[in-house]
Structure 1
């Protein structure tokens, strides 16, 4: 066997070992979000539409969270790659505290502005009353989930993806058990309805945070000495990665707000179907999301060590895996669209719209996944501004214009076709831009 083939096979095995625990964890974590929506759909179209209106603002929190997580993993992996163990301990402590405070302030702001924000997304009076009861516990759940995620980022930067994967499964199982109990009740208790889904998530993430804290206490990865000096030293580099990364991650929530506004013009059932499709999107992209967690720290260590050849091989391997997996999965789910929609919703109108979205959108996620990995790799390889630019082009040049034009020309069918075309264009353009930057890895 040629040496290059042997090296590629070795990289493939290592990438698989790094990625599969995260893939299982992501599947479990995102699966319970889909389960949330499936249970809520049994309450009726109005509660499901109300939950769907909260998705863009929830994605806003996730965007900031992921941007900070990218910066944590990139900065720590580079420091570890350079062999600076003591600095890595100080940096780990610093970013956990700062990132937790940032998400807490954002959650408080979104709670205070809810009466102004949700009407802008197209929510009407009936939906607003349901949203108010749900939004408070949902924000608490988002903050706890962010703290857990930042802990995961620390483990990933040190090359440990197994524990985060296991804890994601544990939190998902807790949520799965609590969801029906808190939503529908048990015995003579009628349950909490829509807010029950949020409180189940609060308890699940709270349990996960306790378990994560116990395991983190057993690792020599944190240091509380010299944090002030480390802040002055690391802040410029951290902000240099985090700011573009957060802008990149904030663009999807902004696009989600605009797309929800577009879908809202088609009716409440369309909003409900779009919300379910958004949940299904994240579940179907589980492998891609796992790669965006496991790959950047490895790329960052290679970048810190000046190993450009390994970076190029890893990117080619990741691209082949994403395209192959997402196309096969997307086509299978497209063929099974009526049955998947029936499983997720009992409303015939919602079910028909959801089946249509599945048929067109799911296969296009092969290209969306390629774009996502290129963006996450750009942050790890010292191209944060390029990654931010690619995120903006994907959403505001490729995706939203196609989505709006499709809805204008063909209603719900046109909207589904337009969204799929936007994903395809974004993936092709992202890979082209990566190839233009690739010579700088030499």
Structure 2
């Protein structure tokens, strides 16, 4: 008799923590190498950095769609494994790979023919258009390194093997960081390719990590069996995966909309405030990465135990996740409240140019603890397959409540505007809790 997956038997506290740590580390590594990538590109020229920045929305869209497919795959696969249905699990895995291949093909075609027209919407400068087109075409043509890498990672997460997730992320990051200066500046006999070299370094890192990810899945992940037949699209599975995954993709894209909205609100008040908000957002990303790692880990654990009908374990995971999230954000709150000047100084003049930055960070830090609970509840909802409800809660905190509040408070001026962040989180929290309770009541036994 096969031994049951640890997600169904290991005590929920140690299980959640042991599976979360590798994912947290891999997400932090990913954030670090993105910053290193920008540092190398900035050394080429201001136009180079602008060109890559203009490509960023397309990259975010690819990541959002890959995340959506990954969440749908994660939920359905973990539920099938929890129910002991290995045949369905194999078909779900195959359909996840199929959807990733379709997205890769779409972006390859759109990127090749649409890169220049897209960039021309934002700039007419020939140098920026040329560099941006080179960068975006490479990234979209080889976007298999985004879509299929996410799929390989989620196959590991859904079966509880998050250590492999960390390994392939670190390998991809190291390759990218090593190749960046070589291909950008023409070191060790390589041609100096500039921005195009940065794109090539990125996709080589992603594609290598993708290949290693599927090799590790094939050799070591015995919960899923790969076959060409499993790639055949199943309408029911694809529909269910999209129903769960598309709202999750929208959640991923919300932060982009929120940032654009805040920049639009801040720009008429102070251009230096816009620069400060960009710096703050980078700091926030580092703080929230462990929390995102925790919530990502919850999804397969809850899905597995939902499939196995072990509802007491779902409640245990939820309780432990809330406590862990509060612990993470308590530490973050203290850092932001006690050392705001030191955090901003990490970014030099850009971080300290806005004179109200120190007070702003302290005010925004008041939102961290309520956001920890809301984000955890959103992770629970995704694990239960209710991504639409999670999207509602996420939209409330990042768009529906935050932006109008920021605009209205901005009429008064700084520092009142920054209270929009804790206000939005405090109002969203009870709504998210009520939404979660309603979903729990809809599932018999939970």
Task: Pick one of 313, 316, 320 that aligns with 1:313.
Answer: 316
Shift of 1:355: 6.0
Paired residue for 2:72? 71
Q: Aligned equivalents of 2:291 and 2:118: distance in 1?
A: 31
What corresponds to 2:33 in structure 1? 32
Rate the CA distance shift 1:229–1:116 in 2: closer, same or farther, 3 A: closer
Q: 1:102: how far off?
A: 1.7
Change (3 A) 1:277 1:44: farther
SS state of the match for residue 410, structure 1? coil
User: 1:25-424 residue pairs with structure 2 within 5 A?
Assistant: 25-40=26-41, 48=49, 51-106=52-107, 108-109=109-110, 112-113=113-114, 129=129, 131-139=132-140, 143-183=144-184, 186=187, 192-218=193-219, 219-220=221-222, 221-224=224-227, 226-227=229-230, 231-263=234-266, 265=268, 273-345=276-348, 347=350, 358-361=361-364, 364-410=367-413, 416-424=418-426
User: In 2, Cα distance between the equivalents of 1:32 and 1:62?
Assistant: 16
The separation in 1 between residues aligned to 2:188 and 2:354, in whole angstroms, is 31
Structure 1 residue 15 corresponds to structure 2 residue 34: no
Superposed CA offset, 1:249-269 (max 9, x none)? 344444444444445556776
Does residue 439 (structure 1) correspond to residue 441 (structure 2)? The answer is: yes
- Of residues 107-116 and 170-179 in structure 1, the stretch that sits farther from structure 2 once superposed is 107-116
- Is the 1:74–1:297 Cα contact (8 Å) retained in structure 2? yes
Aligned twin of 2:3: none
The 1-side partners of 2:109 and 2:34 are apart by 22
Once the two structures are superposed, residues 216-252 of structure 1 have per-residue CA deviations (whole angstroms, 9 ceiling, x without a partner) of 2314423436548761442333233223333443444
Aligned residues: 433
Q: 1:348 to 1:27 in 2, by over 3 A?
A: closer
Q: Could you tell me how far apart the structure 1 residues matched to 2:199 and 2:262 are?
A: 24
Using a 3 Å threshold, how does the CA distance of structure 1 residues 277 and 15 change in structure 2: closer, same or farther? same
Judge conservation of contact 1:41–1:345 (CA < 8 Å) in 2.
no
Distance 2:370 2:234 in 1: 39
Distance 1:32 1:439, change over 3 A: same
Residue 203 of structure 1 and its aligned partner are, at CA, apart by 2.3
Distance 1:309 1:96, change over 3 A: same
* Deviation by residue 1:139-192 (Cα, 9 ceiling, x = unmatched): 457541232111000111111111001211222222333334445554899955
TM-score normalised by L of structure 1: 0.82
Judge conservation of contact 2:381–2:390 (CA < 8 Å) in 1: yes
The whole-number CA distance in structure 2 between the counterparts of 1:58 and 1:101 is 16
Q: Secondary structure at the match of 2:91?
A: helix
Single out whichever of 207-216 and 298-307 deviates more from structure 2.
207-216
Residue in structure 2 matched with residue 3 of structure 1 by the alignment: none
| Distance in 1 separating the partners of 2:41 and 2:95 | 39
Aligned residue in 1 for 2:4: none
Task: Tell me: CA distance 1:393–1:109, structure 2 relative to 1, closer, same or farther (3 Å).
Answer: farther
Alignment check: 8 A CA contact 2:41 2:195 kept: yes
More helix by share: 1
Deviation, structure 1 residue 124: 7.8
Match of 1:5 in 2: none
Q: 1:384 to 1:159 in 2, by over 3 A?
A: same
1:30 positional shift: 1.7
Deviation at 1:284, TM superposition (A): 1.7
For 1:101 and 1:12, the matched residues in 2 are separated by: 38
